[in-house]
Amino acid sequence: MRRFLVTVAGNAVALWLTTLLVAGIQVTPYPPGDTVAWILTYLLLGLLFGVVNGVIGTAIRIVAFPLYILTLGLIALIVNGLLFLLVAWISGLLGFGLHVDGFWWGVLAALVMGIINWILGLVLRPLAGSRR
């Protein structure tokens, strides 16, 4: 449970930093207003990122494995950008969340968020505990 919460919080922080660094990405809080609304929105988006990447992303990576080999992994940029756009679409249906200005902004944001998540993973690994 602790690992799950650390992962969601890490995704939320990575998304927040990504919105600061990438101009084509914006976040709208669920109930507009105070700081708590912003934090809850980022945490919900972090949870949504985890679910989409864990379920749909894994299925796509398994099915598209030959394309990963054929393109030497470069197709991962496109897949991650599409998953980023999918999270934006789902959060839009829920009435809050992520807004992406276009496909290439989604690809750039997915790349930046992946790098930030990797760095945060190195820092937060002791908090999450070891795998059993």
pTM score, two decimals?
A: 0.86
Residues 117/11, Cβ–Cβ less than 8 Å: yes
Burial readout 104-129 (b: 16 or more C-beta within 10 A, e: otherwise): ebbbbbbbbbbebbeebeeebeeebe
- Whether 10 has a pLDDT exceeding 70, the answer reads yes
Tell me which of 4 and 26 has the higher pLDDT.
26
Residue-range domain boundaries for the chain: 2-128
Note the pLDDT of residue 130. 59
Note the pLDDT of residue 44. 93
Note the pLDDT of residue 31. 72
